[in-house]
Amino acid sequence: MMTNPTISLIERRVSANLFDASHNLADAEIEELVRLATRAPTAYNLQNWRFIAVRTAEAKTRLRALAWNQPKVEDAAVTFIICGVHPDAETLPERLQPSVAAGYMPADMPSAWREAAGAQYADPQTARDEAVRSATLGAATLIYAAEALGFASCPMVGFEAEGVARAFGLGANDVPVLLVAVGRAAPGNWPQKPRRPLAEVLEIL
């Protein structure tokens, strides 16, 4: 029986804690990872995200101090600050215009979606949820892209969000949702942690 490479990848991926500090990534490799990450879906195709690739020694030192002093922030080739942005419905006409130009999206749809999104995200909690959701969809896609390209990765939530926002010039509507370290694994990482039994988490109706 053929093994499906993407299924194997999902099954084998682990969050690495130890990275080879001598390994670097070129700009083109960082760009390729983010190009792939942005293939992730977002509501209304909002693409309400920002990716900050922290890879110089100076920037890593600044970020590590705001991330519980975790060594992997500096040891990994790059640590991404992945931000979601509170949705701004006014951006939709521009972001959907290429779909209209390509001929499949009706010309009046972007303004209809702008109206729907404007109503949906008027509630600040709903807007924040969408920022967290979009950034996480991008982060997950970046993690699988990194694994496919032979890199190890680690998502991190242990950081001071307000400090990161100040130190890296985030806007008022930018939410730093996850850090994702990407690089070459060093020896000594743990195996994948066991998961809960399916019966505890799945209900079929």
Which residues are CB-neighbours of 157 under 8 A, at least 6 positions away? 178, 179
Nearer to its own copies, 59 or 67 (CB): 59
Distances (CA, A) of 121 to 94, 132, 193: 18, 13, 37
Find the shortest distance in angstroms from Cβ 20 to its own copies. Answer: 20
Q: How far is the CB of 198 from its own copies (least distance, A)?
A: 6
Sign of CA dihedral 159, 160, 161, 167: negative
Burial of 84 from C-beta contacts in 10 A (0-12 / 13-18 / 19+):
buried
Tokens (6 digits) for 3: 């093994």
Q: In the complex, what is the shortest distance from the CB of residue 202 to its own copies, in angstroms, rounded to a whole number?
A: 5
Least distance from its own copies to the Cβ atom of residue 185, Å = 15
CB nearer its own copies, residue 23 or residue 95: 95
Phi and psi, residue 141, nearest 5°: -65, -40
Cβ-based nearer residue to its own copies, 96 or 165: 96
- Shortest distance in whole angstroms from residue 89 CB to its own copies: 14
Q: Considering beta carbons, is residue 8 or 22 the nearer one to its own copies?
A: 8
Of 52, 43, 160, whose CA–CA distance to 113 is shortest?
Answer: 43
Least distance in Å: CB of 91 to its own copies? Answer: 9
Question: For its own copies, which is the closer residue by CB, 131 or 184?
Answer: 131
| Distance from C-alpha of 188 to C-alpha of 193, rounded to nearest angstrom | 14
Nearest residue (CB) to its own copies, 134 versus 184: 134
- HSE value, Cβ hemisphere, 13 Å, CA-based, for 202: 6
